[in-house]
Amino acid sequence: MIGKAGTPISAICQAYPDRVEVRGRDLCTDLMGHVTFTEYAFLLITGQDPTADQRDFLDLLLVAIAEHGMMPTNVAARMTLAADPGALQAAVAAGLLGCGPVILGTAESCARLLADAQTRVGAGEQAHVVASDLARKIRAGGGKVPGFGHPVHRPVDPRAERILDLADARAIAGLHVQLARCFRDAVADAWGRPLTMNVSMASAAVLLDLGFPVAMVKAVPILARTAGLLAHLAEEQRNPLGFLMAGFAEGAVRYDAGA
């Protein structure tokens, strides 16, 4: 064997001849017809039932992140389906493979930054001081603060603002939302101009304030974007655009053997 093996136990699901048990519940009698998919996804991932706020804001974030137009993830999925019209699963996978730190994947980096800042605040430092120190260090190192900047949404990302407004209205905004706002000021100061707080930072802040583990934060945009990918692929089946996109790519890129 390569690597260390874990205990050969799984707590997620077992299928029996007469029933399916999920997280200790009977799928048919305890879950089907009783829980929403959002509640079920939370149960599957965490092993716990969500609170009302956890359910509502997870649902909100899934809606916020599911779709954003002809993004590279959607283009990759469409072109994959064009190349193999029978491979819907491969096309979805192609789109999900692009969910990295440049497209869609910064929520996890935002969560880790906020968690690190929260640790320092918990040790007695002031939130705005911690945010300023971290932002300046990232700037000095030539990096970018995750969760800030957007190629389309300027000066604000309307999705991020809506998330934060609802967090305030529902009184669930806590230290992580406070830190996100502190980072907005700190980033503007470090860069010498305001940068858009995007949906990834707002999402991560709200999820952490609701008790979601850092490791789960990236799961939310992946789950959400799967629905968007399926929408694009359903449209691709009705109105194929994949080869059109490939043609535009051919026309946009000039061949130069000496480059």
The enclosing domain of 185 has a CATH number of 1.10.230.10
Q: For residue range 75-100, what is the model confidence (pLDDT) as tens digits?
A: 999 999 999 999 999 999 999 998 88
pLDDT given for residue 151 in this prediction: 87
Higher pLDDT, 158 or 104: 158
Statement to judge: residues 31 and 110 lie in one domain: no
Between 52-65 and 158-169, two packed helices, what is the crossing angle to 10 degrees?
170
Between 52-65 and 219-238, two packed helices, what is the crossing angle to 10 degrees?
40
Q: Which among 241, 251, 158, 143 has a CA at the least distance from the CA of 199?
A: 158
pLDDT band with cut points at 50, 70 and 90 for residue 259 = confident
101 located within any domain: no
Phi, psi of 154 (to 5 degrees): -145, 140
Statement to judge: residues 43 and 112 lie in one domain: no
Phi, psi of 13 (to 5 degrees): -155, 150
8 located within any domain: yes
Q: For residue range 161-181, what is the model confidence (pLDDT) as tens digits?
A: 999 999 999 999 999 999 999
Statement to judge: residues 115 and 203 lie in one domain: yes
- Stretch 196-210: mean pLDDT: 97
Statement to judge: residues 28 and 131 lie in one domain: no
154 located within any domain: yes
pLDDT given for residue 99 in this prediction: 87
Would residue 124 be called left, alpha or beta, if left means φ above 0 and alpha means ψ between -120 and 50 degrees? left
Statement to judge: residues 45 and 117 lie in one domain: no
Statement to judge: residues 126 and 46 lie in one domain: no
What is the residue type of 138?
Answer: I
DSSP label at 253? S
Would you say residue 121 has pLDDT above 80? yes
Q: How big is the chain by its Cα radius of gyration, in Å?
A: 21
End-to-end CA distance of the chain: 46
Sheet holding 13-15, edge to edge: 13-15, 20-22, 25-26
Distance of alpha carbon 105 from alpha carbon 101, whole angstroms: 4
pLDDT given for residue 1 in this prediction: 78
Statement to judge: residues 28 and 127 lie in one domain: no
Peptide bond before 155: cis, by omega within 30 degrees of 0? Answer: yes
pTM of the model: 0.92
Looking at the structure of the chain, the number of domains it has is: 2
* Helices marked H in the chain: 37-46, 52-65, 72-83, 88-96, 106-122, 127-140, 158-169, 175-191, 199-209, 214-217, 219-238, 242-252
pLDDT given for residue 159 in this prediction: 96
172 located within any domain: yes
What is the residue type of 238?
Answer: R
pLDDT given for residue 74 in this prediction: 95
Residue labelled with tokens 């939310």 = 220
Task: Find the domain containing 41 and state its range.
Answer: 1-50
196 located within any domain: yes
15 located within any domain: yes
pLDDT given for residue 186 in this prediction: 98
pLDDT band with cut points at 50, 70 and 90 for residue 18 = very high
pLDDT given for residue 215 in this prediction: 85
pLDDT given for residue 59 in this prediction: 97
Distance of alpha carbon 110 from alpha carbon 164, whole angstroms: 15
pLDDT given for residue 102 in this prediction: 81
12 located within any domain: yes
Q: Which of 38-47, 53-62, 211-220 has the lowest mean pLDDT?
A: 211-220
| Tokens of residue 201, six digits | 């930072």
30 located within any domain: yes
